[in-house]
């Protein structure tokens, strides 16, 4: 069987399924003219932001491609450009459908929760299928064109990672600046409901759900998906498990199985009956997982005559499911941790924030232990005791396994912001309360599913970064890392610091933009009293411009730090110091990603738990404290936290792409020491 041709065909199948879902969504009629008007504002703002963001990114892509062509390979530069374009495409097409699905979800909510869930999930599935379809299609085509030369194909991952970082950070700054501004002035100061049309920042907030939580998230998961496969095929090229190319082709084969499994899982979700969104979504996820397990066992036995590679894959799947469940426990209002934050809100914002930080920090323990056990089991189950490179290949396969059903994970994740937008449209269009109750229920489940999706991405990031790290060590012929070497120790410390400065810049950007948003909303309320009386329309455009400008200007420096740090460290201090830098960044980056994502998710659902009637419900003292906690958590879970997993993989893949250059010309300072 020609697995590369199969991968291309599977990618095309995923894109065809996405087009079919998109067609079924846009055929749905929206009768309410006010809903159409609001949805038009959201779509116009989202597309305007993406067009401006892509102009910035086009300059970055051109500059980096020229550098790669001069200093590395022209083939690597070509793969980089294709990876960047495909990453942009995944985010763009997914968001284009999401802004069509939101208003149709609102329309469907007038008929019932199952109808609304189906539309929202279908919208998310379009994003999921675009992510995996473009990912496997690009890798398959480039593998055919460049005859599986992995030193060129890594450029595809570099392109995907670069765009993912800018999309996630830029989109995250946009959405949280609007969200924080809308909440602080609207809910806390003015005492008006969430998504009230009198709030000037409300359209910017809904636009932000799309550019951050749909387009940004899509580019993020595209990068995770592609990065895991590239790390596996890079190590598969050097293992001695077989005499052929099975080591390279196996991760591609099981990724194709994952796409088929996700399509079946999506069909199951659409056809299941019932009114429990969480149960329906879980059933689709588990269905895809079971099919994936069976398929990977068959391919493992067929290609290797052994189930050992399957064992590594199953470890990743199980660890991913376990991390997802643990994330749910720490971020869902059905469990004691979120309820504890709500309890602490009775005494004010300070105790709410203390409780949320505590939950976030506590939540790092179980995922890190699970990831560590997964690394250990995957390493030895495939034969790492006898061949360390084979063991590292097993770790890479576990990452591929964890992300094998990415299409389903993305669909469940992207469904959340679509449901959130649907609720906003229902509120602004003054639909009956029972409609908003349905969208709120979908949104609450979406917060948990989004947190679970972040857990998957973070867990796979740790495994993928370790596999890419091993590929870098192989490329520069590095056998050990000597921490007694002062240059290596410097690299470790600087690498450990990078996630902190990266998170600080992202949080600071949100804070500055939110401050501008708050002042603008206050100005409009002060100068135009008719807004609060409902006789004067707010200036939504001004708030959209504030978020757009902040996102585009503030995303540049974090992106430069992520790309430049590995190159600078390698050129100045050498290959071993760069290895220390990567190790430090991975260690602190994974911990910060888990802590920030879970703390933010817990704060958000604690607020919603109070709004559902606990501790006095909406407008109570506890509710105001919950809003403040949620406001702090917003940039945690949607800006800085999710970008951590991209940061550590981007730094690692940059090191791999420039490995030859660094090995030959790097170590300027270390060479002075040796002389």
* Predicted confidence (pLDDT) at residue 241 exceeds the cutoff of 60: no
Three-class DSSP category at 103: helix
Range of the domain at 306: 3-674
Confidence category of residue 447, pLDDT binned at 50, 70, 90: low
pLDDT at 578 over 80: yes
Burial of 191 from C-beta contacts in 10 A (0-12 / 13-18 / 19+): exposed
Give the per-residue pLDDT at 183.
Answer: 77
Mean pLDDT of the chain: 89
Range name among 204-208, 214-218, 453-457, 650-654 with the lowest pLDDT average:
453-457
Which tokens belong to 149?
Answer: 């030369």
* pLDDT tier for residue 625 given thresholds of 50, 70 and 90: very high
The upper half-sphere exposure of residue 600, i.e. CA atoms within 13 Å in the direction of its Cβ, equals 27
Q: Are 602 and 331 in contact (CB under 8 A)?
A: yes
Q: Do residues 359 and 602 make contact, with C-beta atoms less than 8 angstroms apart?
A: yes
Q: What's the whole-number mean pLDDT along residues 448-458?
A: 71
pLDDT of residue 175: 83
pLDDT at 373 over 90: yes
Q: Which of 151-160, 210-219, 630-639 tops mean pLDDT?
A: 151-160
pLDDT of residue 296: 94
Percentage of residues of the chain with pLDDT beyond 70: 97
Give the pLDDT score at 645.
84
* pLDDT at residue number 242: 54
Residue 673 has a pLDDT of: 66
pLDDT at 345: 96
Q: What is the pLDDT of residues 336-348, one digit of tens each?
A: 999 999 999 999 9
pLDDT-derived band of residue 457, with 50, 70 and 90 as boundaries? confident
pLDDT at 355 over 60: yes
pLDDT value of position 98: 92
Query: What is the average per-residue pLDDT within 136-153?
Result: 91
> For residue 483, what is the enclosing H or E element?
none
Please give the average per-residue pLDDT across 480-494, as a whole number: 92
Q: Which pTM does this prediction carry?
A: 0.90
Model pLDDT for residues 608-620, shown as the tens digit of each residue: 899 889 999 988 9
Higher pLDDT, 229 or 246: 229
Q: Are 378 and 398 in contact (CB under 8 A)?
A: yes
Instruction: Say what the pLDDT of residue 278 is.
Output: 82
- Residue 240 has a pLDDT of 59
Task: Tell me how far apart the alpha carbons of residues 452 and 333 are, in angstroms, rounded to a whole number.
Answer: 14
Name the token pair of 525.
């309320």
Question: Rounded CA gap, 553 and 547, in Å?
Answer: 10
Whole-number pLDDT of residue 214 = 86
pLDDT the model gives residue 262: 95
Q: Is 28 exposed, middle or buried (0-12, 13-18, 19+ CB in 10 A)?
A: middle
Q: Give the per-residue pLDDT at 19.
A: 96
Share of the chain above pLDDT 90, in %: 49
Structure tokens at 205: 């907030």
Q: Is the pLDDT of residue 115 over 70?
A: yes
How high is the pLDDT of residue 555?
A: 86
* Calpha distance 299→30 (Å, rounded): 46
Give residue 198's pLDDT.
86
pLDDT, tens digit (0-9, with 9 covering 90-100), for 21-43: 999 999 998 988 989 988 988 88
Tell me the mean pLDDT in the region 63-91: 94
151: CB partners within 8 A, 6+ apart: 73, 76, 660
For residue 220, pLDDT beyond 90: no
Q: 205 or 131: whose pLDDT is higher?
A: 131
The region of weakest confidence among 259-268, 359-368, 528-537 is 528-537
SS3 for 211-260, per residue?
A: HHHHHHHHHHHHHHHHHHHHHHHHHHCCCCCCCCCHHHHHHHHHHHHHHH
Give per-residue pLDDT as tens, 629-664: 998 998 898 889 888 988 998 999 999 999 999 999
CA-to-CA dists, residue 667 to 151, 353, 585, angstroms: 22, 45, 20
The pLDDT score that the predictor gives to residue 22 is 95
Contact 640, 172 (CB under 8 A): yes
pLDDT band at residue 213 using 50, 70 and 90 as cut-offs? confident
Number of domains in the chain: 1
More confident residue, 175 or 162: 162
Six token digits for residue 194: 């969430």
Flag whether pLDDT at 472 surpasses 70. yes
Closest of 143, 167, 160 to residue 83, by C-alpha: 160
Q: Is the pLDDT of residue 430 over 70?
A: yes
Average pLDDT over residues 554-569: 91
Confidence grade of residue 407 (pLDDT, cut at 50, 70, 90): very high
Specify the range with the lowest mean pLDDT, choosing from 124-138, 191-205, 253-267, 409-423: 191-205
pLDDT of 187: 72
pLDDT (mean) for 504-529 = 89
Q: How far apart are CA 641 and CA 660, in angstroms?
A: 32
């Amino acid at each position: 069987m020609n697995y590369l041709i199969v991968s291309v065909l599977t990618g095309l199948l995923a894109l065809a399924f996405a087009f079919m879902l998109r067609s079924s969504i846009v055929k749905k009629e929206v009768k309410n003219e006010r809903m159409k008007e609001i949805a038009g504002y959201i779509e116009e703002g989202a597309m305007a932001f993406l067009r401006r963001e892509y102009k910035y990114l086009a300059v970055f892509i051109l500059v980096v491609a020229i550098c790669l062509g001069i200093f590395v390979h022209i083939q690597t530069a070509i793969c980089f450009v294709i990876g960047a374009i495909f990453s942009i495409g995944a985010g763009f097409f997914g968001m284009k459908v999401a802004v069509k699905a939101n208003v149709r979800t609102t329309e469907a909510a007038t008929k019932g929760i199952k109808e609304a869930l189906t539309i929202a999930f279908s919208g998310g599935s379009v994003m999921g299928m675009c992510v995996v379809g473009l990912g496997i299609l690009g890798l398959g085509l480039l593998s055919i064109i460049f005859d599986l030369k992995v030193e060129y194909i890594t450029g595809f991952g570099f392109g995907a990672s670069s765009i993912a970082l800018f999309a996630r950070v830029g989109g995250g700054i946009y959405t949280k600046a609007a969200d924080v501004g809308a909440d602080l002035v609207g809910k806390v100061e003015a005492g008006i409901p969430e998504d009230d049309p009198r709030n000037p920042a409300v359209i910017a907030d809904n636009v932000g759900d799309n550019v951050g939580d749909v387009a940004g998230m899509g580019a993020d998961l595209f990068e995770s998906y592609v990065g895991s496969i590239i790390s596996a095929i890079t190590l598969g090229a050097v293992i001695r498990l077989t005499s052929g190319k099975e080591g390279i082709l196996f991760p591609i084969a099981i990724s194709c199985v994952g796409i088929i499994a996700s399509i079946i899982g999506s069909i199951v979700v659409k056809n299941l009956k019932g009114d429990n969104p969480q149960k329906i979504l879980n059933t689709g996820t588990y269905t895809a997982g079971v099919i994936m397990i069976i398929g990977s066992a068959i391919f493992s036995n067929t290609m290797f005559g052994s189930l050992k590679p399957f064992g590594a894959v199953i470890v990743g799947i199980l660890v991913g499911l376990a991390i997802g469940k643990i994330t749910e426990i720490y971020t869902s209002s059905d469990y004691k941790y979120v309820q504890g934050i709500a309890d602490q809100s009775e005494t004010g914002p300070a105790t709410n924030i203390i409780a949320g930080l505590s939950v976030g920090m506590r939540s790092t323990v179980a995922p890190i232990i699970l990831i560590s056990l997964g690394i250990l089991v995957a390493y030895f189950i495939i034969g790492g005791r006898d061949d360390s490179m084979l063991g590292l290949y097993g770790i890479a396969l576990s990452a591929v396994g964890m992300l094998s059903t990415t299409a389903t994970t993305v669909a469940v994740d992207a469904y959340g912001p679509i449901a959130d937008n649907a609720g906003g449209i229902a509120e602004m269009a003054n639909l009956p309360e029972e409609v908003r109750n349905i969208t709120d229920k979908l949104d609450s489940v979406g917060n948990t599913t989004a947190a679970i999706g972040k857990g998957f991405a973070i867990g796979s990031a740790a495994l993928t970064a370790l596999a890419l790290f091993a590929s870098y060590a192989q490329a520069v012929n590095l056998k050990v890392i000597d921490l007694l070497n002062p240059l290596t120790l410097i690299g470790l410390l600087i690498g450990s610091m990078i996630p902190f400065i990266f998170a600080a810049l992202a949080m600071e950007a949100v804070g500055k933009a939110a401050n501008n948003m708050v002042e603008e909303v206050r100005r409009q309320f002060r100068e135009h009293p008719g807004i609060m009386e409902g006789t004067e329309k707010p200036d939504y455009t001004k708030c959209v411009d504030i978020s757009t400008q902040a996102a585009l200007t503030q995303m540049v420096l974090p992106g430069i730090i992520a790309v430049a740090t590995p190159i600078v460290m390698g050129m100045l201090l050498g290959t071993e110091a760069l290895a220390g830098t990567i190790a430090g960044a991975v260690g602190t980056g994974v911990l910060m990603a888990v802590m920030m994502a879970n703390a933010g998710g817990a704060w958000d659902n604690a607020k919603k738990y109070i709004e559902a009637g606990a501790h006095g419900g909406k407008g109570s003292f506890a509710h105001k404290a919950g809003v403040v906690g949620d406001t702090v958590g917003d940039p945690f879970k949607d800006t800085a936290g999710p970008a951590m997993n991209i940061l550590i993989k981007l730094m690692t893949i940059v090191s791999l792409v420039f490995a030859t250059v660094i090995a030959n010309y790097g170590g300027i300072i270390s060479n002075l020491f040796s002389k």
